[in-house]
Structures are given as C-alpha cells and as structure tokens.
C-alpha cells in the first residue's frame, strides 16, 4: 500500500510497471493527504505500508505500524530508491 504522493514520484519509464502492479492488486494506492486514513485502510487489508514518513506520531493508535513486516520506510538517495 502506498500513498498517491509516492505514485507521483515514480519515474516515467517505471509508470507502466506501477500501473500493472496496481491492476493486478499487488499495490494498493490511497490518497496520502490523511496518514490516518492510509493506516486505517492498511489495517483493514492487513497490508504493508510503504512510506517516506516514519509515522511515529501515529504509532499509539496503530501499534502494528512499528512491525517490520507491516511498515517499510522508503528513502530517495541520489535519485535511487532505498527501502530501509
């Protein structure tokens, strides 16, 4: 599960790959204007959240967000994406 803000950052030549993953249900996109909404949907779907924000401020209502299996931090380093 990724927010729409990350979708906008995907390079042009990788857009087709992302679109295919969304169509196949491998990736779910949600509006990233509300981190609470993202986490609520992720909780309902038992999905992994990929985010550039560590979402620490939301760990109290969503303690599962601290689990390595449920949250992946994404960083952009010199135009390369890294999962941390």
Q: Which residue has the higher pLDDT, 33 or 38?
A: 38
**pTM value?**
0.69
pLDDT at 29 over 80: yes
Q: What is the pLDDT of residues 54-81, one digit of tens each?
A: 778 888 888 888 888 888 888 878 877 7
Distant-in-sequence contacts of 43-50, Cβ < 8 A, 24+ apart: 45/1, 47/1, 48/1, 48/72, 49/1, 49/2, 50/1, 50/2, 50/6, 50/74, 50/83
pLDDT at 26 over 80: yes
């Amino acid at each position: 599960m990724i927010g729409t803000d990350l979708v906008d950052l995907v390079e042009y030549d990788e857009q087709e790959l992302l679109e295919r993953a969304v169509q196949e249900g491998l990736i779910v996109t949600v509006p990233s204007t509300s981190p609470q909404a993202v986490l609520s949907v992720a909780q309902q779907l038992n999905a992994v959240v990929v985010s550039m924000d560590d979402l620490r401020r939301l760990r109290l209502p969503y303690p599962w967000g601290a689990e390595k299996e449920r949250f992946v931090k994404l960083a952009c380093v010199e135009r390369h994406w890294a999962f941390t």
